[in-house]
Each structure stands twice: as structure tokens, then as C-alpha cells.
Amino acid sequence: MKICVAGAYGAFGIKHLDALAEIDGVEVTSVMGPTRAKIDALAATRGIGHAATDLSECLARDDVDAIILSTPTQMHAAQAIACMRAGKPVLVEIPMADSLAASQEIVRVQEETGVLCMAGQVRRFNPSHQWIKNKIDAGELKIQQMDVQTYFFRRTNTNAKGEARSWTDHLLWHHACHTVDLFQYQTGEVVDKAFGLQGPLHPELGIAMDMSIGMKTPNGAICNLSLSFNNDGPFGTFFRYICDNGTYLARYDDLFDGNDKQIDLSGVAVSNNGIELIDREFIAAIAENREPNGSAQQVLAAMETLDMIERSMD
């Protein structure tokens, strides 16, 4: 299968290139980025035959079977739709869009064209969360509460590599999207109550730097999510699952019980790399002509909840 990675030299574009290199039967034949010198240099370094600064050029190629979009958030909806219109299955990095209306349009076009569209909800695939999900599906655990902290120190417009961004990140429509989808995925429910509180907007970036979110499912599970771009380490997202039969803490790719005893995750998945696992699911779903875990339709419920939270803050 021949893949194009768009946004290839960004932080997550590189992660996808590294992940795809671990998957048999896959070749990256094309990369796209906004700056000609940078994308040509990346293609040369990686031995990739085609590089472009325009996605439409990549979509027109016969040696591109599918697209992975690691481009700026504000481009996701239009680019995902362009991929589907061109008949190319597409994996859209999180979030698939930055509004409910745009997310609904992605789903509408997917249903109209029948072309696979998957959202990059990597938390569904991280082995730590998969271990919890397996226990829930087996009837061994039931979530009573999730407490989640998403913390970064990002008072300037920079990416995960510390480089300047041409677009602005967002605590709600990007970082909260991870946890909102995960909470609904793990509980098997769509929340019926949700609210958000946000701190002052950054005078230059125009976004809230601190946010608090609360959610509740019809069966009573609750989630408390704290997010900040003002936190000076440690960085990342930390999950506490409070269940009817134990407490578990997910930290990056590791899982611990409530007494800080590490849980063995070997055998949960073929890799500990969530990006590799999500890319494997994307490729397998194309090959098997089936809906992927994390399809645009499945993730739409998370976007509806984000919209509910945004309206509560207005």
C-alpha cells in the first residue's frame, strides 16, 4: 500500500513516517509540506520519491493509495473532504475538525462517497488504555470516575519540537478532544451533561490558556479534565481511572494500579507505539474494506460533546 503523509515534517508527521517504517507492506511514496526546501530535504533524507507543497498534486498521483493528514488543524476538514472526493482513504490527525459543523460535513461526505475516513484518536490505541478497555469489555471493570490532567508550557506559538507554528493550537478542540472521545469510548456512552470553564484569553494567541471540563454519562460515570498551557512541567496527559474494582493510573505508555505498582502491558498490542497502532488500523481497514476503529462517524459524538462544552462557556 502506497501512502502520502501530508504535513510530513511537523512533529506528528515525523512520528507517522517513523511508524509506517515499522509496518510491512507499506511504502511512503509521497510527502507534502508548505515549504519547498524543507519538504524536498525530508524526501531526500527518507528516500521518498515525490514531494510537493500542494495536496492536490499528491491526490492526483497513481502511486498514492491513501493519505495521512498531519497538517494544521484548521485545514483538516477541507483536506479530508478533498481526499475523499479524490477517492483516497484518509486518516486525519486529531482533531478531525475544529467545529461541529465541519465535523458533520466530513461525515456527510464520507457517507456520500463511501471512501474511508478515520480520525486520529490515538488514545483508543495506546496499550495502557487498551488494557482498561479489555477489562471493561470482559465485565471486570466499570468506570466510576476519570480524573485527567493535560498540561503543557506553551506561552508562545510553538509545536512539540519547539518550532514556530503557522497556526494556533487549542485546549478544547485539540487536547480535550483526546479525553472526551476516550471517556465516551471507555464507558460506551455519550455524555448527557457537560460543562466547561476557561481562564483569560492570551493577549496575542487569542486562546484560553487554562480550562476545566466536567462530564457525566447517563449511567452516572463522571470525568474531570484539567488543561493548561501554563504548567511548567511535567508535560503530557495523565489519566486516573477510578473503577468499581480498582484504581489505575495511565502515564504516557505505562499503566500503574492505585498503589503505584506497574502493570505488565506486554501482549496487549503488537507495539507500544500508539501512532504505529493507529496507522496499522488505518491500513488494515483499507485492506479489509471495513470501518476502522475511530472512523469519522464514531468520533462525531466526541465533537458533539465538545460543541456542548464550548456553548456552556459562551
- How far is CA 91 from its chain centroid? 10
Q: Give the helix/strand (H/E) hosting 83.
A: helix 76-85
> Which ranges in the chain are annotated with CATH 3.30.360.10?
126-268
The verdict on whether omega for the bond into residue 95 sits within 30 degrees of 0, i.e. cis, is yes
Q: How far is CA 71 from CA 23, 165, 168, 190, in A?
A: 22, 11, 12, 28
Say what the pLDDT of residue 159 is.
59
Say what the pLDDT of residue 314 is.
79
d(CA 64, CA 241): 41
Residue 203: φ, ψ to 5°: -65, -25
Q: Is residue 281 left, alpha or beta, with left meaning phi > 0 and alpha meaning psi from -120 to 50?
A: alpha
Contact call for residues 213 and 194 (beta carbons, < 8 A): yes
Question: What's the whole-model pTM score?
Answer: 0.94
> Which ranges in the chain are annotated with CATH 3.40.50.720?
2-122+275-294
Per-residue pLDDT of the chain (314 residues; tens, 9 = 90+): 999 999 999 989 999 999 999 999 999 999 999 999 999 999 999 999 999 999 999 999 999 999 999 999 999 999 999 999 999 999 999 999 999 999 999 999 999 999 999 999 999 999 999 999 999 999 999 999 999 999 987 766 665 666 665 556 789 999 999 999 999 999 999 999 999 999 998 888 788 999 999 999 999 999 999 999 999 888 889 999 999 999 999 998 899 999 999 999 999 999 999 999 999 999 999 999 999 999 999 999 999 999 999 999 97
Out of 3.30.70.330, 3.30.360.10, 3.40.50.620, 3.20.20.70, which CATH number does the structure's domain 126-268 have?
Answer: 3.30.360.10
Residue 41: which residues within 8 A CB-CB, separation 6 or more? none
Indicate the CATH number for domain 2-122+275-294.
Answer: 3.40.50.720
Say what the pLDDT of residue 206 is.
82
3-state secondary structure 291-310: CCCCEHHHHHHHHHHHHHHH
Say what the pLDDT of residue 168 is.
63
The 10 Å Cβ neighbour count of residue 275 is 24
Radius of gyration for the alpha carbons in the chain, expressed in angstroms and rounded: 19
d(CA 166, CA 178): 22
